[in-house]
Amino acid sequence: MSKKRNDRITSRDVDFAKWYTDVVIQADLIDYGPVKGTMIFKPHGYGIWELIMQTLDVEFKQQGIENVYLPLLIPASLFNQEKEHIEGFAPEVLTVTKVGDKPLEEELYIRPTSEVLFSQYFKNNIHSYRDLPLKNNQWVNVMRWEKTTRPFLRTSEFLWQEGHTMHQTSVEANQFALTILNLYAKFVEEYLLIPVVKGIKTINERFAGARETYTIESLMHDGQALQTGTSHFLGDNFAKVFDIKFQNADRELEYAYGTSWGVSTRMIGALIMTHADDEGLVLPSKIAPVQVQILQLGLDEPVQRVVDQLKLDLSKNYRIKVDASDKTFGYKMSASEIKGIPIRIEVGMRDVAQEQVVISSRVGEGKTAVKLDQVKTFVDQAVITYDQQLFSRAKTSLETRIYQAQTLSEYQKGIETQPGLYLVPFCGRVVCEKEVKQKTSTNSRCIPFNHDQSVEPCFNCGQATKIKAYFGRAY
């Protein structure tokens, strides 16, 4: 690693938590909001979320999913209908009790998620098998009051998409939940350049009210895991509670089967903890609000002409920003670096006189003088190389930190000295997982698909089991 140059950012190896918040603030992603645990998404932070939304929205529409908007507030009586669900969310739910000075007749909850609203909506709009599958999504804000909060990772209010679908059969619904999980995994790996592990949540970690929760998990730079997206197979659970029935082709009434799934602004936290470094943010090109920054040095006419031409040419394929301010070169370079902009092009008199500019990337070593007529080709290749570098180093970081453990003490020792994901034989019982959590302050991340099925004793209770699960510290 090169020598640390930015003294506004704590070194990642010295204090990871402090490093994280320094990057978030110095990269101009957010300000803290006036209410505990809330954030102001500044243009650079919101710009990343806009690109995430745009990309996923196209993918959803290709799956026949249509966007809707359901209300922010849920009447307490409606929310309380599904027991497991309300138990899971009750302690975190913000409650509206009055308007101005006047008390409301019924208390209203700010949505922590919208399964119950969608259930009522589905009940009203599903009558026949012809109405199925019904696939909807919404991009909204939700609130969950958290004790300890951290920007992006755990905030009282966050932005997300929540998809909700209904199907004729259990098999189709379950299959669709997996389709979405794969869509998420592809997006996270190809756009955010974060490698993922796919799997099933244990019963203890399952979404309140779901029959099965599928998850993608990623490993952050400090060896802690982060759940980047979940997709739930709800079975006919909500359908039974909210009486969502359809007439099948034989004119019989049947319960419908549901899914729900979401990814949130949490993904931006994963981005930071995967790619950023001691100099600041590092953004994958596909979700970088600015992909190429032109650092204009001086306002001389030849420089201006080259900047204008480059801007015109490169804008066709890239999101470009020109820094033509009167700040020093060092300041401009540092600002571009902190914000994680992938490619920088320096345009100054000396180089322009030689019909060239100087190009560098946020992660590569050194700079290259490139002739003006070669800039486009060079940038095209530099962006590809840059993204490959990001994914490749993240993949190495994940792969080298997947371990195995057979016993709890082996696991405990491992997690202390070599943080990462530990594949362990696990009985899967809630009581056993709670015991592990109490002893280690860690829990299961997922039961990976296609793991070795040999019978072994559970790493905690010793009970014979075929299941293997990843355990580790997590955000």
Q: Is 4 left (phi over 0), alpha (psi -120 to 50) or beta?
A: beta
Binding of a second copy by 76 (CB under 8 A): no
Q: What are phi and psi of 456, to 5 degrees?
A: -140, 160
Binding of a second copy by 208 (CB under 8 A): no
Return d(Cα 113, Cα 96) in angstroms, integer: 16
- The helix (run of H) or strand (run of E) holding residue 164 is strand 157-167
Residue 445 is encoded by which pair of tokens?
């991340």
- Sole binder of a second copy in the list 23, 24, 39, 177 (CB under 8 A): 39
Binding of a second copy by 126 (CB under 8 A): no
- Sole binder of a second copy in the list 90, 208, 324, 363 (CB under 8 A): 90
CB of 274 to a second copy, least distance (A): 23
Binding of a second copy by 427 (CB under 8 A): no
Binding of a second copy by 384 (CB under 8 A): no
- Sole binder of a second copy in the list 92, 243, 308, 399 (CB under 8 A): 92
In the chain, the N- to C-terminal Cα span, in Å, equals 26
CB of 335 to a second copy, least distance (A): 13
Interface region with a second copy, contact rule CB under 8 A, candidates 37-45, 174-182, 268-276, 466-474: 37-45
| Residue among 180, 66, 72 nearest 117 (CA) | 72
Binding of a second copy by 71 (CB under 8 A): yes
Query: Of how many residues is the chain composed?
Result: 475
Interface region with a second copy, contact rule CB under 8 A, candidates 10-18, 69-77, 181-189, 270-278: 69-77
Segment 307 to 346, residues that bind a second copy, using CB under 8 A: 325
Whether 407 and 465 have beta carbons less than 8 Å apart is answered as: no
- Sole binder of a second copy in the list 35, 349, 353, 464 (CB under 8 A): 35
Q: What are phi and psi of 398, to 5 degrees?
A: -70, -50
Return d(Cα 227, Cα 220) in angstroms, integer: 10
Return d(Cα 333, Cα 323) in angstroms, integer: 10
Residue 313 is encoded by which pair of tokens?
């040419």
Whether 221 and 274 have beta carbons less than 8 Å apart is answered as: yes
- Sole binder of a second copy in the list 14, 15, 43, 317 (CB under 8 A): 43
Binding site for a second copy (CB under 8 A): 31, 33-35, 38-43, 46-47, 49-50, 66-75, 78, 90-100, 108, 110, 117, 120-121, 124-125, 130, 136, 140-141, 143, 145, 157, 159, 325
